[in-house]
Amino acid sequence: MSCRIVIIGAGPTGLGAAIRLTELEHANWALYEKYHSCGGLSGTQRDHQGFSWDFGGHVLFTQIDRVIKILASLGQDFFLTHQRKAFIELLNIHIPYPFQLHTDHLPAEAKKRCTAKWLDPAPVNHTDNNFKHWLLQTFGLEQCRLFFFPYNQKVWGCPLEKLSYDWIAQRISLPNQGHANRNWGPNHQFRYPGKDGMGAIFKALAEKKIQKGSIKFRRKIVAVDLQKKLIIDNEGRIDHYDNLISTIPLTDLIKSLRGNIPEKVSKAAGKLRWNSGLVTGLGFKGHPTSHDISWTYYPEAQFPFYRVTSISAYAPDLVPKNNPQKYCSFLCESTISSEQPQPSTQEVLEALYKTRLPLPQKDSRPISQTQISLPYSYPLPTSERNRHLKIIQDFLQSENIFSRGRFGSWLYEIGNMDHSLMQGLEIVDRIMLGEKETLWTS
């Protein structure tokens, strides 16, 4: 009898695992999803007014060949392609992204102080595993004061000295990459679904790449019996597994375990840190004065959001009647933590009026207001994170449990949609074929 594989969560990682099991023609598996649709944190919801809101400012870009091939199966007409038009709004001007490669846009005195440091950055002390220190040593006091410190404090919602800097590989442009490469970054060109928002990718993959009826929706797993190798859902239904692939937050998985769990594992899980998020969608009647902005970053304290996406510029289908000439929409993202309370819709709206974004008319009232709370937004790369993860993952794998995905692996640096999909593919290759994972490592 073939091994029974159970997957928890139908986000990108869980779907990646299901797709690979289908490719291998392995029939003895089940996928459980607590909600009524696929996508997880990469999902989309449409409101009653006809505006669609992603669960964050998501765009698609990838250099992973296996993921590219899977996405190509959706068809040439599935995606629209965009050139990134991203800015930082600072000192009441728009500075092109990334900030450190465009300091020449700053006022003269600030530019002089920033540029001097940009030309001759101080060496990084690699013995100090501290993100704040790394920023200061890499970019200098003026760039940190203007942008890096306030912006990253907004995004992470915790003191920067508590974070490591070993995750920054493709996340932050370095000074030595030079002004010649001002379009730095893997997302300088990105794709977006032509219909139904970012969540459409995962709904389509489930329909095209997985046998119909394989995903068990509205089935929340509340307990995992280690001794009997059983999962139990919120209605008391039971399933057996030989190998369990979990994509739910690692902290929730550990809490769900029943059996002999070493104290060091529970303690390690209790030391993992994360922040929560709030997505505020504001839809307007009227055409914005310009759609030449993809998204804008906001480091200044007067704005309760750290990023605003001009989401109606991505696809006509995201606004009522597929008509971006008559409607526009903005997706505002805020981090919620003990140090950053949740803003109200009105506070977000009033702050949006203060921006330089191309609203149809200043102070025009939105016809759609939506707030989406994300209990888990970013897994924090704290300085001791890797040590805690090793304790937890070593134990889980000894029990034939494989925790992967953005919050399953708890690795922000491989937490994008393509990374997560790839983690699902590779963990099945490991279980079924004995192959090594190339993206996730212990």
Phi-psi label, residue 53: left if phi above 0, alpha if psi -120 to 50, beta otherwise: beta
**pLDDT, tens digit, for every residue of 18-66?**
999 999 999 999 999 999 999 999 999 999 999 999 999 999 999 999 9
Q: Quick one: three-class SS letters along 247-269?
A: CCCHHHHHHHEECCCCHHHHHHH
Q: Which fold has domain 5-43+198-272+382-433?
A: FAD/NAD(P)-binding domain (3.50.50)
Phi and psi at 145, nearest 5°, equal -65, -40
Question: Would you list the DSSP string of 62-122?
Answer: ---HHHHHHHHTT-TTSEEEEE--EEEEETTEEEESSGGG-GGGS-HHHHHHHHHHHHSPP
> Which position has the token pair 């203060």?
354
pLDDT tens, residue by residue, 231-265:
999 999 999 999 999 999 999 999 999 999 999 99
C-beta separation of 53 from 372 below 8 A: yes
364 pLDDT band, cuts 50/70/90, is confident
- Domain positions in the chain are 5-43+198-272+382-433, 99-181
Decide if 226 contacts 258 (C-beta within 8 A): yes
Q: Please, are residues 151 and 120 in contact by the beta-carbon 8 Å criterion?
A: no
CA gap 57, 71 in Å, rounded? 20
Within 10 angstroms of residue 292's Cβ, the number of other Cβ atoms is 11
256: nearest Cα among 281, 276, 284, 231:
231
pLDDT digits (tens, 9 = 90+) for 155-200: 999 999 999 988 886 667 776 555 555 677 788 899 999 999 999 9
pLDDT tens-digit series, residues 161-170: 999 988 886 6
3-state helix, strand, coil in the chain (%, to 5): 35, 25, 40
Confidence tier at 1 by pLDDT (50, 70, 90): low
